[in-house]
Structure 1
Amino acid sequence: MKSGEISLGACGGRILTGEGYRFTQDSVLLANLMSAGSRDRLLDLGCGGGVISVLALLKKGVREAVGLDNDAAVVELYGRNAELNGLSDRMRGVCADVRAAASALGGEVFDKAAVNPPYYDFDDGTGALDPHKRESGAVLADFVAAAAALLKNGGDLFLVHKAERLTDALTLLREAGLEPKRLHLVFPRPGSPADIFVVAARKGGGKGLTVRSLTVTDERGERTREIKELYSDG
């Protein structure tokens, strides 16, 4: 593996990072919790360098992934990661603001959408200086609206966010016609509060939510069996 490349595990995927862009394990967790298959087209909103798209293509076998981001340098990196993984024919980057996603993608329709949006307000006192982590322009509601506009009826959105934003997210999803169907509360270690959540919501879906918990590390700081199984390719 060359310098600057990060392995995505047994699936064989690799990701290049760039100045100002580092993917988080939240994206990896989201990609592994997605339910998707070979007939699905994936919309990766706020795609960054493409870790979710690469994992969806290599592990879930989706037919095609389209990534959208407002940072031209990041979209260029998305294309380089497509080439690095031999996925250029199935992975396409689009540079556009998420608030203009519907017009930027014309009449395209998607089976699945993935969103790992900025977590923090522009100046909320958290010290999150990375612009990719801040809601400096588009906010959570904009990402939800874009997914609702571009998903087919019956399509699924997969969203990861901080646990403190759970109420906001569930409210926005239902208001946009995306019914929350499956929720994972993610705990960093035993006895700690949930840190993030991953929710799956269906466009036009009926009411009914299944809630599960997922603990990342055990008392020794090692990955739990459930995380190892989730991340494996078996």
Structure 2
Amino acid sequence: MKEPNLKTGERLDGLPSQGVSIIQNPDMFSYSLDAVLLAYFANPNKKGRGLTVDLGAGTGAVGLFYAKKVAGQVKLVEIQEDLAAMAKRSIDLNEMADRMEVIHSDMQEVFDQIKPGSVDTVLCNPPYFPVKETTKQNVDEHYQIARHEVAIDLPKLAQTANKLLKNKGKFFMVHRPERLGDIFAALTARGLQVKHLQFVYGKADREANMVLVEAIKQGRAGGVRVMPPIVAYTADNNYTEQVQEILYGAGWTLE
């Protein structure tokens, strides 16, 4: 790995199990456990030898973590120019430029750079919160776009993923359990059939606060499987053995 060339306000974070470092600026936006778990959860066809696209890639965390366990090309699509530039520098830092590329674009306008129907796998860690008149939004533009559906909402995201994917291609997403009704409605209406769910719990005695979703383009209806849960923290606020292994254990492999 090259030596990082950090700018003012930036720091280097990483995922030891994958041997990846990410350049971040906490004043803009920083990845969290949801990005790690999405990359871990994604289980593409054919050992990931096809093209993967990460929509709304931010600083590139999901795509870089995921790229270490697959053999194919990975393209990161990010609408915010400074985050896209940071992602590109992280790709260079991790010496992954031979398999990874950043596309600075609105994901809904990326089809002149990524051919429709050419993608095997789509990843997305989208904004979780719908925008309503009563919504309290982040004043900071970076956080607002990352957290609230101002640039993309679930139906438009589902349509974009559908257009990019080959038939039987896979779509992986992390979201909030309270949006499951919206998620199923948006994906099903646009030809993406949910096949696997995995719930993430902050602690064992609390409600789930994340859900990992796998859907298949033109998959058969029904047959949704719920995988064993992930519990993030112990009662005394340490990572559980399960999450410790994901973060610090052996490098991830595909089934």
The reply to whether TM is greater than 0.5 is yes
Alpha carbons of structure 1 residues 199 and 94: separation in structure 2 relative to 1, 3 Å: same
- Structure 2: which 5+ residue stretches go unaligned? none
CA deviations on 1:155-196 (whole Å, 9 max, x unpaired) are 110011111111100111111111101001111001111111
Indicate the residue corresponding to 1:141 in structure 2: 155
Indicate the residue corresponding to 1:199 in structure 2: 213
- Equivalent residue of 2:208, what SS? coil
- Equivalent residue of 2:17, what SS? coil
Indicate the residue corresponding to 1:21 in structure 2: 29
- Structure 1: which 5+ residue stretches go unaligned? none
Moved more, 34-43 or 73-82: 34-43
2:78 equivalent to 1:69: yes
TM-score (norm 1): 0.92
Preserved CA contact (<8 Å) 1:116 1:159: yes
CA deviations on 1:59-110 (whole Å, 9 max, x unpaired) are x123111011111111111111110100011111111112223344234611
Indicate the residue corresponding to 1:96 in structure 2: 105
Where do residues 124-163 of structure 1 align in structure 2 (5 Å cutoff)? 124-129=134-139, 130-131=143-144, 132-163=146-177
CA deviations on 1:87-137 (whole Å, 9 max, x unpaired) are 011111111112223344234611111010111234553454422212112
d(CA) in 1 for partners of 2:242 and 2:185?
A: 29
Q: Among 183, 187, 191, which residue is 2:197 paired with?
A: 183
Moved more, 130-139 or 151-160: 130-139
Alpha carbons of structure 1 residues 136 and 40: separation in structure 2 relative to 1, 3 Å: same
Q: Among 83, 90, 94, which residue is 1:85 paired with?
A: 94
Deviation at 1:229, TM superposition (A): 3.4
What letter corresponds to residue 204 of structure 2 in structure 1? Answer: P
2:250 equivalent to 1:233: yes
What letter corresponds to residue 10 of structure 1 in structure 2? Answer: S
d(CA) in 2 for partners of 1:96 and 1:155?
A: 22
Preserved CA contact (<8 Å) 1:98 1:142: no
Moved more, 205-214 or 190-199: 205-214
Matched residues, number: 233
Preserved CA contact (<8 Å) 2:117 2:167: no
TM-score (norm 2): 0.84
Instruction: Among all aligned residue pairs of Structure 1 and Structure 2, give the percentage whose two residues are the same amino acid.
Output: 25
Higher relative CO (CA 8 A, sep ≥ 6), structure 1 or 2? Answer: 2
d(CA) in 1 for partners of 2:83 and 2:172?
A: 21
2:239 equivalent to 1:223: yes
RMSD: 1.9
